[in-house]
Amino acid sequence: MRDSKADAMKRMVFLIEAVHHAARMFAATAADERLDPPVREFAEKIHEQAEQFEFELRTEMTRLAAEPVIVCETEDIDLLLGFEAMLESYRQAQESNVTPHTRAMINRQYEEIQKAYEEFATIGKPTRRTLPYRSRLPRRRGGHTPRMW
C-alpha cells in the first residue's frame, strides 16, 4: 500500500538529509591528506555529485510546494556507513508515493549513487581506519529532538 503525501515528503526530507551529510563526509575525506590519493580523488568527485543531487532534491521539494517537515536528531556514523545510509534513503524514497517526475529523478540519482558505491568498493576496500571522518545522519527511531527542515 502506498503511503500518504505527507509520508512521501517525510521520506524525501530524510533523503535530502542523507545526501547532505554524505556530501559533507565526502568533502572532509577529499580534504584529508592522510588518505590515499585514489580515495581522496573519488571522494572529491562524488562530493560534487552529491551536492548537485541535494540541490535537485531541494528544488523538487520547492516545486512540490512541500511545507517544512520535522526531522529527528542525528547519530554519528563513518563514511562507508554514511554511503550505505544514503543508498537506503534512496530505496525508501523510491517506495514512496511521489509524482512521476520526482520518481524519475530519484531513480536516476539512485542508479548513479549505486554505481559510485560499487566504484568506491574497488578503491582498496576502504575501512573505518582509512575513513576516519564521522558525520551525523537522521535517526528515524528513538530519541527524537525535532528540528525544522
pLDDT (0 to 100) of residue 90: 94
Number of domains forming the structure of the chain = 1
pLDDT (0 to 100) of residue 3: 64
pLDDT (0 to 100) of residue 81: 81
Q: What is the CATH number of the domain that holds 49?
A: 1.20.1260.10
Q: Mean pLDDT of successive 10-residue segments in the chain (149 residues)?
A: 72 89 88 88 92 91 67 58 88 90 94 92 57 45 41
pLDDT (0 to 100) of residue 74: 53
SS3 96: coil
| DSSP state string for 110-137 | HHHHHHHHHHHHHTT---TTT---EEEE
pLDDT (0 to 100) of residue 133: 44
The domain of 14 spans 5-148
Cα separation, 59 vs 72, whole angstroms: 22
